[in-house]
Amino acid sequence: MPSCVVKWCRTRSGCHSKIDGITFHAFPKNPVRREPWVQAVRLERQEPDWMPSKSSKICSIHFRDHDFYLSKKGCTMIHKNATLVCTVSILEGGI
C-alpha cells in the first residue's frame, strides 16, 4: 500500500477515495528529472541524505494542477517536466 514520502502529508492510499482526485506517482527513472523531486522531498522531510526507494511514491497534492493530464486509459499522469511544489512553505503559512 503506497503512502506519500512527504512526512507530514497524511495522504494514504487506503483512504484516498475519500479525497477526490488524489493520485500517487512514482519518481522519474531519468536522474535529471528525478533530482529536483528528490531535492524537494529532502526539503520537506528536512533529511539532506534522503533517497527515494523503488517503491517511493508522492501524492498529487505536491504538484500544480496544470502538471497533470489524463492518459488514454483515463489515468492521471504527471507531465515529464513537472516539478514538485515545495509544500513546506505552504504549511508554514498555515493550511
Q: Does 11 bind Zn ion (CB under 5 A)?
A: yes
Q: Does 9 bind Zn ion (CB under 5 A)?
A: yes
24 has which bridge partners? 59
Which of 6, 78, 82, 84 lies at the binding interface for Zn ion (CB under 5 A)?
Answer: 6
Strand boundaries in the chain, DSSP class E: 24-26, 57-59, 68-70, 76-78
What sign results for the dihedral spanned by CA atoms 64, 66, 67, 69? positive
x/- string (CB under 5 A) for Zn ion, residues 58-77?
-x------------------
Sites of contact with Zn ion (CB under 5 A): 4, 6, 9, 11, 59
